[in-house]
């Protein structure tokens, strides 16, 4: 039965009751904006790659990092979660947060999904760059597809203690150690501190290479299942602290299972859109997907370091329509299912969906949600009559698929 199969990037996949990839997401598979010539995401990718090539070289002068920007985004649950020690009950595994193809297969939710495999292949320094997929809110900074850069650097004991005098006595590992805020049980504190120092100075210099020498940075403690300790780097941008990446000392269990037990590693992951929007002054994340010459021509430069400030062609007026409905009483409702339906029907003219009001009827105890949907076209003025038609279609689809009752 063909209806139980999906064709994605030239491969057939069985579907099941976990399948929740939507046609509008599938349509974007293979666009690979991060390697599209003259695309802002591609310029930024090139700058980050150049920084790593320049910063880390072998004795003979060749770049230490290898770059993987072409790995298929369809991964297994094992790659995306298990290989990274993500607990079985971790919220990031939920059907409401990921695009599943079937119960074992999904569109990767982070480029970290490939880290264990690349280490198993024997790599010690690498970048993975690609498209990632998450079910999320819909507004000017969130989109179901975005792009990440992940990095891994593995070091031996000789490498990290090379410049220390009595390095004989310094070890990567310690037996009978205990885990605390500074380190994992198996690591020596001195090894972790050397790695932490290199990781943090590498990333603050990267932030300076992109945003200029004067950019203000700060480190915030964080938690990831695959690193400990873990941090986030924030930069001060237009008076706001903006989180730009997550990083940490890799869980030794991952290295052990991948055959790199004699090394210690650091890793980080960053989102390209978030940085590119600030760097180029791009006001809406949908613009990255635009085929409009008015957008793309502004990035037609050969030098990826060129200073570019995007100038909106003009901002067209929005149409804002509300929708209210009673939720089904069986608890099956998820707002992410609704967001997907809205995006599926409205496409990229949906700028934002916000929950305006939640209300529980005092007698029936039924819950009602009211959402505001902002419709705005990036390249022309929308006509209210056209928007109303789309809005009606959304109401019909929500009724049919989510068991809600329009008020």
Name the residues that contact ligand PHE, by CB under 6 A.
110, 112, 150, 224, 227, 246-248, 267-269
Look at the alpha carbons of 82, 84, 85, 90 in this order and tell me if their dihedral is positive or negative. Answer: negative
Query: Which ranges of 143-260 does DSSP label H, i.e. alpha helix?
Result: 157-161, 189-211, 252-257
Query: Which ranges of 167-265 does DSSP label H, i.e. alpha helix?
Result: 189-211, 252-257
The residue at minimum Cβ distance from ligand PHE is 269
Comparing CB distances to ligand PHE, the nearer of 244 and 404 is: 244
3-state helix, strand, coil in the chain (%, to 5): 35, 30, 40
CB of 401 to ligand PHE, least distance (A): 29
DSSP structural state of residue 333: -
CB of 84 to ligand PHE, least distance (A): 8
CB of 269 to ligand PHE, least distance (A): 3
Comparing CB distances to ligand PHE, the nearer of 248 and 346 is: 248
Comparing CB distances to ligand PHE, the nearer of 243 and 348 is: 243
CB of 245 to ligand PHE, least distance (A): 7
CB of 328 to ligand PHE, least distance (A): 32
Q: List the one residue out of 270, 273, 120, 133 whose CA is nearest residue 203.
A: 270
DSSP structural state of residue 381: P
**Which pair of tokens denotes residue 155?**
């070091």
Calculate Rg over the CA atoms of the chain: 23
CB of 295 to ligand PHE, least distance (A): 27
Comparing CB distances to ligand PHE, the nearer of 37 and 201 is: 201
Comparing CB distances to ligand PHE, the nearer of 108 and 376 is: 108
CB of 51 to ligand PHE, least distance (A): 17
| Backbone dihedral region for residue 75 (phi beyond 0: left; psi -120 to 50: alpha; all else: beta) | beta
Comparing CB distances to ligand PHE, the nearer of 130 and 269 is: 269
Comparing CB distances to ligand PHE, the nearer of 151 and 387 is: 151
Cβ-based burial of 107 (10 A; exposed 0-12, middle 13-18, buried ≥19): buried
Comparing CB distances to ligand PHE, the nearer of 40 and 248 is: 248
- Cα torsion for 208, 212, 215, 220, to the nearest 10°? -30
The β-bridge partners of 145 are 133
**Which pair of tokens denotes residue 117?**
């495999």
Residues with Cβ within 8 Å of 364's Cβ and at least 6 positions away in sequence, in order, are: none
CB of 100 to ligand PHE, least distance (A): 18
**Which pair of tokens denotes residue 151?**
């990095």
């Amino acid at each position: 039965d063909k209806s139980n199969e999906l064709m994605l990037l030239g491969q057939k996949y069985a579907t099941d009751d976990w399948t929740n990839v939507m046609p509008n997401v599938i349509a974007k598979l293979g666009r690979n904006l991060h390697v599209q010539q003259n695309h802002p995401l591609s310029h930024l990718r090139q700058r980050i790659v150049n920084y790593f090539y320049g910063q880390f070289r072998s004795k003979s002068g060749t770049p230490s990092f290898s770059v993987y920007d072409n790995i298929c985004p369809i991964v297994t649950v094992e790659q995306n979660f298990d290989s990274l020690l993500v607990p079985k009950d971790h919220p990031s595994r939920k059907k409401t947060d990921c695009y599943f193809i079937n119960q074992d297969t999904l569109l990767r939710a982070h480029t970290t999904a490939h880290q264990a495999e690349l280490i198993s292949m024997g790599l010690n320094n690498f970048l993975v760059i690609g498209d990632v997929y998450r079910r999320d809110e819909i507004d000017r900074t969130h989109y179901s597809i975005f792009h990440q850069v992940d990095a891994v650097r593995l070091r031996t004991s000789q490498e990290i203690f090379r410049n220390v005098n009595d390095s004989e006595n310094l070890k990567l590992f310690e037996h009978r150690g205990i885990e605390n805020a500074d380190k994992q049980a198996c690591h020596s504190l001195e090894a972790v501190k050397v790695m932490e120092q290199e990781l943090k100075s590498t990333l603050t210099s990267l932030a300076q290479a992109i945003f200029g020498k004067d950019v203000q940075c700060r480190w915030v403690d964080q938690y990831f299942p695959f690193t400990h300790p873990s941090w986030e780097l924030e930069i001060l941008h237009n008076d706001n602290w903006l989180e730009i990446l997550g990083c940490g000392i890799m869980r030794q269990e991952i290295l052990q299972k991948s055959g790199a037990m004699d090394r210690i590693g650091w890793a980080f992951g960053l989102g390209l859109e978030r940085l590119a929007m600030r760097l180029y002054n791009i006001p809406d994340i949908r613009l990255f997907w635009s085929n409009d010459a008015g957008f793309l021509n502004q990035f037609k430069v050969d030098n990826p370091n060129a200073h570019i400030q995007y100038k909106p062609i003009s901002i067209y007026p929005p149409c804002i329509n509300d929708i209210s409905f009673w939720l089904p009483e069986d608890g099956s409702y998820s707002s992410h299912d609704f967001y997907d339906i809205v995006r599926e029907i409205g496409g990229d003219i949906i700028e934002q969906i916000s929950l305006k009001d939640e209300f529980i009827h005092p007698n029936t105890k039924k819950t009602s949600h009211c959402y505001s949907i902002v419709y705005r076209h990036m390249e022309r003025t929308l006509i209210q009559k056209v928007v109303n038609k789309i809005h009606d279609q959304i109401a019909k689809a929500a009724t049919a698929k989510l068991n809600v009752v329009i008020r």
